[in-house]
Amino acid sequence: RVAVVGAGVSGLAATKCCLDEGLEPTCFEQSQDIGGVWRYTEHIEAGRPSLYPSVISNTSKEMSAFSDFPFPEDFPVFLPNALLLEYLRRYAERFSLREHIKCGTTVVSIRKHPDFATTGQWNVVTEAGGKQTSDVFDAVMVCIGSFSEPSLPLHCFPGIERFRGQYFHSRLYKHPDVFRGKRVLVVGMGNSGVDIAVEASRVASKVTISTTQGAWLLSRVFEHGYPWDMVLNTRFMTLIKSNLPRPLSWWFMNYKANQRFNHENYGLQPEKSCLVRKPVLNDDLPSYILTGRITIKPGVKEFKDSSVVFHGCPEEEPIDIVVFCTGYVISFPFLEESVIRVENKHASLYKYVFPAHLQKPTLAVLGLIKPLGGIIPVAEMQARWVSRVFKGLCQLPSQSVMEKEVNEKKKNQVQWFGLTFDEVLKTEWLVYLDTLASFIGAKPSVLGLLCTDPWLALTIFFGPCSPYQYRLGGPGRWEGARQAILTQWDRVLKPTRTRVPAGSSSPFPSILAVVGFLLLLAAVIFGF
């Protein structure tokens, strides 16, 4: 028996993967419906993520799908939150997940069973309709994400206590009307911060973004008009990034990021350009800077009664409203602190999933990771691995080995990314998927396919690393995986190629042309 906490993306994947392995999942969802962060509500519910209605996915549908359930071909390439929620509902219906989900049920506490050292079991207390129930489960999957408890470090902003204007965390944002005619300051430059600044600039008198470190900015529309992640997240590109000397790798990433526009000229250049930081996805910001709708400023030095002073800028800037886009803290209110160690605002987990110090590997955390790529395939791969660990089909390393890796990764990533509260959760998307897939025997063999199915092998290596690759073989093999891979561009072009002029060329990139270009690129980079 497995308790699954949360019925968002990770919780649905966990429930489905448990069923695939013959386990007995019970999914507890405190709200009245599934969907997690993707279910928009006008009011803000305590303990669950809050969404503004204009949110659109930052990853394309082909790179964000569950590996055995492609998005409908008529869905747009990047999805409004309502359509992504519809997809999750179709997924739950297709695999009969609803009967295993208890909505309106809050998990109050999860504690080790008295004989945990031998059984690995957990006592789970839930509450529904004012009544508490206690049950014993053999394992637990925690799928609550990291967007419920806002981080609002007001102590880092001198003078905020005397600021007479309005300020709030981005979690409270719903509609731009609140900014009409106002002078708005957005503190922080993540995806939400840029989204809110762009929306505010359409009605506000002035909008300023304050960023201490800057950020690389990517557009959903990438080279030749194709989705950014279908161009960047390929096995070939990952091979290049992984094998280039570090200085050359930094240069290559700077070059790619600045191809669209020079970040330094727009005030966006990261403070330490040698550090790899997760880019921000937004299609409008550069043009809004060009047209004067948005201004980029350094970090906040201090607030005055009705103004703000930025570092390196002696003059005061008058403002009326401040939106703090300062991220979220990780918390597990139903767990004892000793179960998952949270230090410096991050959890110490083996492969971002298992608490390394537990005597029995019967508790796992899913979706607590921020890769440069779709979260759905990552959460699903975690669930496939975890369900097989719970079933005894996959073994974890010893406790000491896991703890050593957790500490080394934490140390290396702090050095690599710089000390910001959530950088340690960020990892290379494709490498991480391949690592977990290799644990369960689902990683595709490009060399093996080259002998038996060369066209598929070339598509897998040079084309997008779509999630269907992880259903070609191994446990959970899906008969439709090959066809899904070979038709992925059809589903991308279907909703956009709605007018076809006479005599037009093929709508999607020829694999031979792509192979030729990439081989030429490799020859230039590696000198052969």
Which residue ranges form the domains of the chain, and what is each CATH number?
A: 2-148+329-433 (3.50.50.60), 152-219+265-326 (3.50.50.60)
CA separation for the pair 367, 145 (Å, rounded): 6
CA neighbor of 67 nearest in space, from 381, 459, 373: 381
Classify burial at 180, counting beta carbons within 10 Å of its beta carbon; exposed 0-12, middle 13-18, buried 19 or more.
Answer: exposed
Classify burial at 386, counting beta carbons within 10 Å of its beta carbon; exposed 0-12, middle 13-18, buried 19 or more.
Answer: buried
Q: What is the residue-wise DSSP string for 190-212?
A: SHHHHHHHHHHHTTSSEEEEE-S
Residues 6+ apart with CB under 8 A from 510: none
Helix axes 454-462, 235-243, angle to 10 degrees: 50
- Residue 3, helix vs strand vs coil: strand
The token pair at 20 is: 């695939």
Residues 6+ apart with CB under 8 A from 93: none
CA neighbor of 156 nearest in space, from 215, 216, 212: 212
pTM of structure: 0.91
Per-residue pLDDT of the chain (528 residues), as tens digits, is: 999 999 999 999 999 999 999 999 999 999 999 999 999 999 988 888 899 999 999 999 999 999 999 999 999 999 999 999 999 999 999 999 999 999 999 999 999 999 999 999 999 999 999 999 999 999 999 999 888 889 999 999 999 999 999 999 999 999 999 999 999 999 999 999 999 999 999 999 999 999 998 998 999 999 889 999 999 999 998 888 777 776 777 777 778 888 889 999 999 988 765 455 678 999 999 999 999 999 999 999 999 999 999 999 989 999 999 999 998 888 899 999 889 877 766 778 999 999 998 999 999 999 998 888 999 999 999 999 999 999 999 999 999 999 888 888 776 554 333 333 344 445 689 999 999 999 999 999 999 999 999 999 999 999 999 999 999 999 999 999 999 999 999 999 999 999 988 877 665 555 544 555 455 455 444 443
